[in-house]
């Protein structure tokens, strides 16, 4: 497959910039059967595009219009052949443009400084080099943009921060049903989302699970108090909105050191007072993850649902 990619490149270059017609013809995309998943883990199950690629008509250069209309029913543009994998586990091929950008950009600079001597550099070459460097910069940025497109699966590998230990802490003097619910809630959040640490605080009951950086000099029974003190410092009790930090730069002390994104979901219930509905906070759920952009909107919806489980029903 790697050879195939090289071949496309070399074909385009060697044939004197003549583009091969099959790659860019303007006929409409017909749904094709799924190609087997070839292990490129950054791309999820393919769904076939339904829109005609009218925009490609400007770029294509080889097909004439009448032939494309007549044969549009039989033709299938199988673009999925462009997806490939090197087969090396752990290597994310969607970052290939970034590596090519770095490699070719540095080669361009090498060519500029190490090629023919300075006086012989023509304006034409300078133009090409400027164009090449800006293309390299664009290619480097490309995987970052691709992360936000629909259908991009986030990287779900959890990396455990160093120095963090797994703990499971729960307040003691709470009813058994609440204990079970807390245990289930923390388990489910750790398992189903890209989370390494979770903390649930409901009506003075605390449950902490996952990898946390507790200070080492505190004896085991006072860890609980340490958590409460840290929570008081940040004042998370009165939170009314969901806060999501997809790229956390400044972290609170309470969070483990390798946290890159975290989310705080308050548990609210509406209280119908005499004139209007006020939202009272019963507590919050804090989730921390070691990768950026860890929680998609679907994850956030489910986290909201789990948080609602702990809601105190005023009318119960």
Partner 1 sequence: MGAGTLIRPTPLKSSPLSQQRPPPGPPTPGYHSSNSISIPRSSTPVKASSSLNSQGDYRGPKPKREWVADWVSQNDDVVRSLPIYVGGLSLLAVLVNRTISGIAPVADASSSQSRADLLTLGLAVTNILNGLVWLSIRPKSVSAVNPEGVECQSICPLLPDFISSELLWVWESLSDATCCRSLIIVYDKRVILQIGFATASSNTHDAVVVDVDKLMKGSLYQGALKSKSQSYLANLSLYPAKSELPFLPPNTQAVILQPLGDKGLAIIGGDMIRGFTTSDQAWITLVGEKLDATLAK
Q: Which residues within the stretch 144-203 sit at the binding site for partner 1 (CB under 8 A)? A: 144-146, 148-151, 177, 184, 188, 191-192
Name residues contacting partner 1, limited to 205-224 (CB under 8 A): none
Number of neighbours of residue 289 by Cβ within 10 angstroms: 28
* 95 in contact with partner 1 (CB under 8 A): no
Q: Which of 116, 159, 203, 222 binds partner 1 (CB under 8 A)?
A: 116
The structure tokens listed for 183 are 């245990």
Applying CB under 8 A, the span of 64-72, 198-206, 208-216, 244-252 interacting with partner 1 comes to 244-252
Give whole-number Cα distances, 98 to 39, 145, 223, 269, in Å. Answer: 20, 11, 44, 47
Q: Which long-range contacts (CB under 8 A, 24 or more apart) does 298-302 make?
A: 299/193, 299/194, 300/242, 300/244, 300/263, 300/265, 302/192, 302/193
In the DSSP assignment, the letter for residue 289 is E
CB of 220 to partner 1, least distance (A): 28
* 6 in contact with partner 1 (CB under 8 A): no
* 88 in contact with partner 1 (CB under 8 A): no
Phi and psi for 161 in degrees, rounded to 5?
-70, 150
CB of 175 to partner 1, least distance (A): 11
- Residue 210, sorted as left (phi over 0), alpha (psi -120 to 50) or beta, turns out to be left
The radius of gyration computed from the CA coordinates of the chain, to the nearest angstrom, equals 28
* 253 in contact with partner 1 (CB under 8 A): no
CB of 212 to partner 1, least distance (A): 18
* 236 in contact with partner 1 (CB under 8 A): yes
Residue 148 or 221: which CB sits closer to partner 1?
148
Name residues contacting partner 1, limited to 255-294 (CB under 8 A): 266, 268-270, 272, 277, 279, 293
36 vs 264: CA distance, rounded Å: 39
153 vs 136: CA distance, rounded Å: 25
Residue 70 or 116: which CB sits closer to partner 1?
116
Name residues contacting partner 1, limited to 40-59 (CB under 8 A): 43-44, 46-51, 53, 55-56, 59
* 314 in contact with partner 1 (CB under 8 A): yes
Name residues contacting partner 1, limited to 118-147 (CB under 8 A): 120-125, 127-129, 131-132, 135-136, 138-139, 142, 144-146
DSSP string, 49-84: --S--GGGGGT--S--HHHHHHTTTT----GGGG--
CB of 172 to partner 1, least distance (A): 22
* 3 in contact with partner 1 (CB under 8 A): no
Q: Which of 74, 173, 275, 297 binds partner 1 (CB under 8 A)?
A: 297
**Closest Cα to residue 198, out of 206, 123, 190?**
190
**Closest Cα to residue 253, out of 222, 223, 231?**
231
CB of 277 to partner 1, least distance (A): 8
* 12 in contact with partner 1 (CB under 8 A): yes
Q: Which of 2, 4, 14, 222 binds partner 1 (CB under 8 A)?
A: 14
153 vs 41: CA distance, rounded Å: 8
């Amino acid at each position: 497959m790697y050879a195939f990619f090289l071949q496309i490149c070399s074909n385009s270059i060697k044939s004197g910039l003549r583009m091969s017609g099959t790659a860019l013809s303007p006929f409409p995309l017909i749904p094709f059967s799924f190609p087997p998943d070839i292990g490129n883990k950054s791309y999820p199950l393919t769904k076939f595009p339904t829109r005609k690629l009218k925009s490609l008509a400007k770029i294509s250069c080889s097909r004439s219009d009448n032939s494309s209309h007549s044969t549009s029913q039989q033709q299938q543009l199988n673009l999925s052949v462009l997806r490939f994998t090197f087969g090396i586990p752990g290597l994310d091929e969607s970052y290939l443009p970034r590596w090519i950008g770095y490699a070719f950009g540095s080669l361009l600079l090498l060519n500029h400084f190490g090629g023919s001597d300075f006086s012989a550099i023509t304006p034409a070459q300078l133009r090409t080099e400027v164009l090449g460097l800006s293309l390299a910069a664009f290619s480097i940025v490309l995987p970052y943009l691709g992360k936000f497109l629909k259908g991009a699966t986030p990287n779900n590998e959890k990396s455990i921060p160093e120095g963090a230990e797994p703990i499971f802490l729960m307040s003691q003097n709470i009813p058994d049903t609440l204990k079970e619910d807390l245990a289930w809630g923390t388990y489910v959040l750790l398992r189903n989302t890209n989370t390494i640490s979770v903390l649930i605080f409901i009506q003075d009951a605390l449950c902490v699970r996952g990898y946390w950086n507790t200070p080492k000099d505190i004896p085991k029974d006072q860890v609980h108090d340490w958590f409460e003190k840290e929570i008081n410092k940040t004042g998370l009790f009165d939170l009314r909105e969901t806060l999501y930090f997809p790229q956390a730069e400044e972290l609170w002390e309470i969070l483990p050191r390798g946290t890159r994104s975290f989310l705080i979901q308050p548990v609210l219930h509406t209280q119908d007072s005499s004139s209007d509905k006020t939202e009272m906070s019963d507590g919050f759920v804090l989730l921390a993850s070691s990768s950026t952009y860890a929680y998609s909107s679907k994850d956030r919806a489910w986290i909201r649902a789990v948080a609602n489980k702990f809601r105190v029903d005023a009318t119960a």
